[in-house]
Structure 1
Amino acid sequence: MLHEKLVQVIAEKFVSSHDQHGFDLRFALTMRDDRRPKEWSVVFDVFTPSGDLLDGPVVVIVSDETNEARFL
């Protein structure tokens, strides 16, 4: 079973491995997913290249069983 800090690290590595096209994804929070008990939701705020916060975050799902991450 993963702990919260490790889940954050996995999600941050996953996000950084993808081209963000100049946008900046900043970690916001990590939480357990009530509908998916074996997965974590990791929320990232999205900022434009000029520094403006976009409406609506990006969510990365991290599996407790496989340690794999994916975009929601």
Structure 2
Amino acid sequence: MGGMIAQEVVSLIPERIKHLILAGTGPRGGKGIDQVTRVTNKFMVQAFFTGKNVKEYLFFTRTPRGKHPPRHT
């Protein structure tokens, strides 16, 4: 619901919002949404044992491009 609210706020007052990043949002009942807790817990354990930031597992694919996303300057 938070992602939907954020989008509505931007549509109502776009002049007040410079940037918006929505991460980890999904439609109610969307495919795989019932697995979010299990997957998140799995990635948190992986991050702990590998010493990596959990965000690497949550927001990037494990492909070569996902492991090294482009840097914005």
Q: TM-score, normalised by structure 1?
A: 0.26
**Greater share of helix residues, 1 or 2?**
2
Q: Relative contact order: is structure 1 or structure 2 higher (C-alpha 8 Å, sep ≥ 6)? A: 1
**Greater share of strand residues, 1 or 2?**
1
The higher radius of gyration belongs to 2
Q: TM-score, normalised by structure 2?
A: 0.26
